Amino acid sequence: MSESLAAERSADDRAESVRLIRDSAAGLAPRTGDLRRVRALRFQNPGFDPAFWQQICDMGWPGLLVGEDDGGAGLGMAEYCALAEELGAALAPEPLISAGIAARVLRGEALSVLLAGTRLVLPAWQERANRFEIGTTTRVANGHVTGRKLFIPMAGGAADFLVATADGLMLVAADAPGVSLSLEQTQDGGTFGTLVLDNALGIPVAGDLTAALDEAALATAAYLLGVMDRAFAITLDYLKTRQQFGRAIGSFQALQHRAADLKIQVALTRASVEAAAAVLDAGATGPVRQAAVSRAKARASEAAMVVCRQAIQLHGGIGYTDEADPGLFLRKAMVLANLYGSAALHRARFANLAIDEDEG
């Protein structure tokens, strides 16, 4: 078979795989479904539905990027981003992306119980606000961990934490002696956890979170793409049905121009996310891989805020009420825009990587 035919077949296989992932997501979390489930879970601990999380595990989604030999699906970032986008459009609060980080590193029994939904393992890696770097002040002495980790999404539902330390990764049970967890509510109704470890017993885990964090940042960009795409679709429907002066307000040229601008924002974000996923799936490493991720995350973070804010404005006064759905999407965008690095942070990282490549 010629290289061109092989590449074409590979592209066709990947497109079919992405389609199947989107179809499976639609069966569990349809992007056109109502948002009553999301509203009912807001400002409750742990902020997501454990039964729904079990269904996610039954679908095999936490192991999407895990190799088949380790019990995963062995798929790529194109499929993972497609799944994240669909979950974003449905505003699913379950911590798939965070758990996916742990799944990329764990092996053996610890991975098996995570993929089965028996024990939720969440990574604890961040020690400072607005940093996309693994904290290194947490230390290990004689198998016991001491330190403090911040901004752990939906931490109240975790059975274990995969803690990044200066001495390697440690798996620490949430109910182990010396473990203290405090939760802070976020704008979207979820929680961020602060984990304090005081000589807590842990199990060493081989591996590094660096590559998994890049994958999580790109998946979050894809989730934000789903958020803005659904917010835009809801707004477009509203413009077509809301009547003023005997006409649908979507017929007014000024509003058409604003809607066109938002559609461009969504399209550009989609192109950036898909391009970054292709870079990662092609096996890129180092600055090329990191730059692709930062470009996509910076664009998604900014575009999601623009689209969701405009969606509220285009709904008029009702858009500012909590009963209106556009507000749910803006609140989600506000939380995820800075998770795994803000737009400003990723723009700076992209610029630095570009300089390094030029100098090399």
Note the pLDDT of residue 250: 61
Asked if residue 62 lies in contact with residue 96, where contact means CB atoms within 8 angstroms, the answer is: yes
Asked if residue 185 lies in contact with residue 219, where contact means CB atoms within 8 angstroms, the answer is: no
Q: Is pLDDT above 80 for 246?
A: no
Note the pLDDT of residue 320: 85
Region 96-109: mean pLDDT is 98
Average pLDDT, the chain: 93
Q: Is pLDDT above 70 for 191?
A: yes
Whether the pTM exceeds 0.75: the reply is yes
Which domains are seen in the chain, by residue range?
3-116 (1.10.540.10), 121-205 (2.40.110.10), 210-359 (1.20.140.10)
Q: Are strands 160-165 and 121-124 parallel, antiparallel or unpaired?
A: parallel
258-298 pLDDT tens trace: 999 999 999 999 999 999 999 999 999 999 999 999 999 99
Note the pLDDT of residue 355: 54
Note the pLDDT of residue 6: 46
Asked if residue 195 lies in contact with residue 148, where contact means CB atoms within 8 angstroms, the answer is: yes
d(CA 76, CA 83): 11
d(CA 74, CA 63): 8
Percentage of residues of the chain with pLDDT beyond 90: 83
Note the pLDDT of residue 247: 79
pLDDT band at 239 (very low <50, low <70, confident <90, very high): confident
Peptide bond into 177 cis (omega under 30): no
Note the pLDDT of residue 251: 61
Reference 180, options 170, 195, 161, 169; nearest CA is 195
Note the pLDDT of residue 318: 85
CA dihedral defined by 72, 30, 95, 54, rounded to 10 degrees? -60
Note the pLDDT of residue 249: 66
> What is the longest distance spanned by two Cα atoms in the chain?
75
- Collapsing DSSP to helix, strand or coil, 93 comes out as coil
Q: Distances from the Cα of 62 to the Cαs of 4, 104, 198, in angstroms?
A: 33, 9, 30
Region 132-137: mean pLDDT is 92
Q: Which range is least confidently modeled, 212-221, 240-249, 275-284, 347-356?
A: 240-249
